[in-house]
Structure 1
């Protein structure tokens, strides 16, 4: 019985060096297979490697004319984080409206819990749902959730404080955004995992661009609008209007992207791989699907743990520590805004660097992710250490390094993980990796409270 033909996606027409490296095969850290090896068992063993290789003819791969596909995936990455950024950046406005509510904590808890539950469901039933439908539904839900705040402000709240029915509706909109995020983020990352590496890099860089966009909007609104009730209201409405506009662009881009020749080419490769697997194993359902899913999780778990620890470290420091625990007599209330902007800019730089140089050694990348735990005692020193450590320069440098390492290592692991499995399972792998990421966000948010304790 011959092993099934599985087609591996090369990152670009000029990737012969990577092809040769993967054909030699390599072991990922902690026993996870990270390269490409032939299935010498003839496909009979469930423990055989998921990934075999049959590199497509590079001369037949369509070009990404004008980098349209790259731009579209970059925009999609920007889009699916904007709704959360809009809600959390407008927290001053919501705190003014609802002074007796712990707005930021409630928003974070609702968003993460709802998103995590939905992601678990999506992972379990990924084989029964279509990513095209999930993404379009999710983008539509984002628009609805974002419309709630400005529409309610104009028709019901009208700048008045203490109307807590409005708060409950806003929390429901945050929960709706959590559902949409699970549908869109997991599926976008999953679909990018089926394409060459540059498209995953585009998505990841787009998420960083979202933070940069919101940071500059925050600087603009603070500089232009007064910080009274009227100014806060105008600022909040601006965040949501910009986010809605970007979301509409994302809907258009996503529904155009699959028609581009380069995207159609790789979608056809996936369809071929899916059909060959059906002929070999039958329809993935029941015990066969669960076995395949656990095989995927086992194969990428250390990539996932690397991403998880990245975001545990990052969220334990940023933004809570940055906004609440460090102060500047010179910069005053601009200090936290500039630190957040610095983090976001360097996060974007880090996520863009993988377009120039991709660290292909997963063991080093995962080790570096755990090495970021050193940021915790360093930032602690900025609170309780020598006097120089408690000044603006060390805090700013550390914050920028936190963003740079977060961006680069996230991008590396997100790019490498889907390439360890068969093409037809790359989407599920992307969703699994996002699940690890969300767990890291949740744990990091909890750990951040230890700064207060």
Structure 2
């Protein structure tokens, strides 16, 4: 049987590492693009709190979709799931571009509702792609997961760089802010299209992917069968229904209980991060010497340090694997809340930039440490299920964080 006759490739393929990185980039690029052009949306909709409202719209759709997909994960077609996600991202980004061109960059409630609809579609795309990719990579090498997660962070860093460049390039031209946004969205849509092509035609054909998916299929994982077929590997139709494959397998409830600390870790990481990023950075940091560049620089520093931090665990001596150590480090991050409060009230922009950088550094580092450690020791179906469960907990944490972020507006006379 072909799925069992394959031998594991002896070395990691650099091309595959890069492909994982690009697919990670596309998994959040469109959403980060929407957040990064927040300065433009604040110009169009100054009274509608766009950075807070758009994140509040996005996350319920992401969580609802992810909950359904996590519950049904063992019966899903991973190939269709991921392609649906990337296609939604491409269509949503194109819709933002067309909406702006069609309305000539005007504000108004109708335009704002259209942008909110796109934000909701991004939430559905996020649940499809991130849950599907993390579940898929969970039964492969940790290096693949790390590369994918670094790509996720790179989406934020890259959008920040694009935004800084386009803002600088068009700053002194007529209607320059809008021109920069149009170019920015066009680049984002192109990258999402590239991800569709990579996942559909390149990713499933790597030997290392064929090996791990074949191994997972022999252990009873049905979700990879369509991808194996796309790679030219035939599998017995009964491979996922063999009763022997079910013996001793942990249920989703058992997996959650055994890994509840990891689930809580991810939840708490993003409760804190999203209670500050991006709403607080746009609306609660005051006016400083950087002027209209201030919020963009803060977003860029967060994204840059988040990306850098995701490579730190590659240095094995710096990787945090202790379950207790992870929990202590994650709980300690909540000390950042009073730090941000007093810095916004009394500190200068240098201190705020340092704090935002530390927020990004700890977010990226701890996320990779949790997601590369948790799935170890499980077979293919269990690792895939656990990956989906952990991503659901992460998204729930993001939603709570966004909701708690509104508390920063208490006492704000403009609220």
Question: For the superposition of Structure 1 and Structure 2, which TM-score range results when normalised by the shorter chain?
Answer: 0.7 to 0.9
Q: Report what 1:342 is aligned to.
A: 301
Task: Please list, as runs of the form range in 1=range in 2, the aligned pairs for 1:53-452 lying within 5 A after superposition.
Answer: 60-65=8-13, 67-98=14-45, 101-154=48-101, 156-162=102-108, 164-226=109-171, 230-255=175-200, 256-274=202-220, 278-281=241-244, 292-327=251-286, 329-357=288-316, 358-384=319-345, 390-452=347-409
* Residue 447 to residue 410, structure 1, CA distance change in 2 (3 Å): same
- Match of 2:251, SS state, is helix
Q: Is the 8 A contact 2:166 2:181 kept in 1?
A: no
Q: Report what 1:52 is aligned to.
A: none
Tell me by how many angstroms 1:398 deviates. Answer: 2.0
Consecutive unaligned residues in structure 2, runs of 5 or more: 222-238, 411-415
Moved more, 443-452 or 76-85: 443-452
* Residue 337 to residue 161, structure 1, CA distance change in 2 (3 Å): closer
Q: In structure 1, how many angstroms separate the alpha carbons of the residues matched to 2:314 and 2:5? A: 23
| 1:281-303 C-alpha deviation (Å, 9 max, x unpaired) | 5679xxx99x7111111122210
* Residue 420 to residue 375, structure 1, CA distance change in 2 (3 Å): farther
Moved more, 305-314 or 392-401: 392-401
Q: Is the 8 A contact 2:272 2:334 kept in 1?
A: yes
- Match of 2:303, SS state, is helix
Q: In structure 2, how many angstroms separate the alpha carbons of the residues matched to 1:443 and 1:279? A: 40
Q: Please give the TM-score of this superposition, normalised by the length of structure 2.
A: 0.86
**Is the radius of gyration larger for structure 1 or structure 2?**
1
Q: Is the 8 A contact 1:296 1:421 kept in 2?
A: no
* Residue 397 to residue 152, structure 1, CA distance change in 2 (3 Å): closer
Q: In structure 2, how many angstroms separate the alpha carbons of the residues matched to 1:229 and 1:126? A: 50
Tell me by how many angstroms 1:95 deviates. Answer: 4.1
Q: In structure 2, how many angstroms separate the alpha carbons of the residues matched to 1:129 and 1:85? A: 27
Q: In structure 1, how many angstroms separate the alpha carbons of the residues matched to 2:252 and 2:115? A: 36
Q: Is the 8 A contact 2:24 2:148 kept in 1?
A: yes
Q: Is the 8 A contact 2:67 2:392 kept in 1?
A: yes
Q: Is the 8 A contact 2:88 2:125 kept in 1?
A: yes
* Residue 227 to residue 211, structure 1, CA distance change in 2 (3 Å): farther
Q: In structure 2, how many angstroms separate the alpha carbons of the residues matched to 1:297 and 1:145? A: 33
Q: In structure 2, how many angstroms separate the alpha carbons of the residues matched to 1:252 and 1:332? A: 40
Tell me by how many angstroms 1:88 deviates. Answer: 2.1
Consecutive unaligned residues in structure 1, runs of 5 or more: 1-55
Q: In structure 2, how many angstroms separate the alpha carbons of the residues matched to 1:378 and 1:159? A: 38
* Residue 241 to residue 433, structure 1, CA distance change in 2 (3 Å): same
Q: Is the 8 A contact 2:66 2:128 kept in 1?
A: yes
- Match of 1:236, SS state, is helix
* Residue 409 to residue 281, structure 1, CA distance change in 2 (3 Å): same
| 1:4-42 C-alpha deviation (Å, 9 max, x unpaired) | xxxxxxxxxxxxxxxxxxxxxxxxxxxxxxxxxxxxxxx
